[in-house]
Amino acid sequence: MRNMASDLSAAAAKSYQEQHGFLPKKWLSGGPGTSQNRIVLHLTWQASMFNSLSNSVDCCQLKERMFQPITSRREETLLFAKNFLQHPKMLGSLIPSSRFLVDRLLGKIDWGRAKVIVEYGPGVGTITAHILRRMGPNARLVVFEMNQDFVRYLRRSFPDPRLDVVHASAENVQAELARLDLGGADYIISGIPFTTMPEELRAKIMRESRQALNPGGAVLVYQFTRAVLPYLRACFGQISQDFEPRNILPARLFYCTHESA
């Protein structure tokens, strides 16, 4: 556990620095040893704290996870962490989103009009599970995931006829919705790391998302920084913002619609 935590910690520090361009001062100051050691120590503590946190989440969320009979929270956590070590840029986060972030994000959705919902980057299905629980019996959810391990895991964990797991990048949203005979999306929920992807891909995903929206539809984006805001502004007429501190890392939320401000 100690070695794993320290591997995770070093990778987390690397990813944090890539996303934010710096490491927080408190990770670098106080106590003996080199800066590198202090970062690893701090993040080792974070990783072990997360481990105990995810154990308690096990009990609290047991009932809600009844539609995931074959897999467990521990399996999800390990699968996510393993994939983060292999593809830190593609995942952009060491651990899945917190329940607080999920609630704040999904609280923006009018479930009565959510007939076609799209999710980008479901990972191990942390948000997917809650969307499926809240959406109507005739609504459809299409998730786009590039990571083969996650795709396999999602297909096994969520045998729900309302769900389509597409093994493709978000940039294919229009083509895939057409293939599934779904027309446009009422909501697109995006958890993909926009700041670490190539400019051209980011622009294409935003353009495709905007075009895939039904009239009155919205794109909900969560990120760890505000760096994505100028790109969202270039594409959407109106953007409202929110913040959820109870997440590792604290998250920024952007609610984007076609209507001009």
Ligand X SMILES: C[S@@+](CC[C@H](N)C(=O)[O-])C[C@H]1O[C@@H](n2cnc3c(N)ncnc32)[C@H](O)[C@@H]1O
Smaller CB distance to ligand X: residue 36 or 156?
156
The amino acid occupying position 88 is: P
Helices (H) and strands (E) in the chain, counts: 11, 7
54 vs 48: CA distance, rounded Å: 10
Give the 3-state secondary structure percentages of the chain, helix then strand then coil, rounded to 5.
Answer: 50, 15, 30
Smaller CB distance to ligand X: residue 92 or 184?
92
Smaller CB distance to ligand X: residue 91 or 114?
91
Residue closest to ligand X when measured from CB atoms: 121
What is the smallest separation between the CB atom of 145 and ligand X, expressed in angstroms?
5
What is the smallest separation between the CB atom of 102 and ligand X, expressed in angstroms?
8
123 vs 151: CA distance, rounded Å: 8
What is the smallest separation between the CB atom of 30 and ligand X, expressed in angstroms?
30
Taking a C-beta distance cutoff of 8 angstroms, is the pair 116, 214 a contact? Answer: yes
What is the smallest separation between the CB atom of 195 and ligand X, expressed in angstroms?
11
132 vs 111: CA distance, rounded Å: 11
Interface residues with ligand X (CB under 6 A) are: 90-93, 96-97, 120-123, 126-127, 144-147, 150, 169-170, 191-193
What is the smallest separation between the CB atom of 85 and ligand X, expressed in angstroms?
13
121 vs 159: CA distance, rounded Å: 18
Burial of 243 (0-12, 13-18, 19+ CB in 10 A): exposed
Taking a C-beta distance cutoff of 8 angstroms, is the pair 144, 121 a contact? Answer: yes
Instruction: Name residue, tokens 């994505």.
Output: 228
Smaller CB distance to ligand X: residue 122 or 217?
122
195 vs 153: CA distance, rounded Å: 26
What is the smallest separation between the CB atom of 26 and ligand X, expressed in angstroms?
24
187 vs 221: CA distance, rounded Å: 11
Smaller CB distance to ligand X: residue 144 or 236?
144
What is the smallest separation between the CB atom of 36 and ligand X, expressed in angstroms?
25
Smaller CB distance to ligand X: residue 114 or 124?
124
223 vs 225: CA distance, rounded Å: 6
Smaller CB distance to ligand X: residue 4 or 146?
146
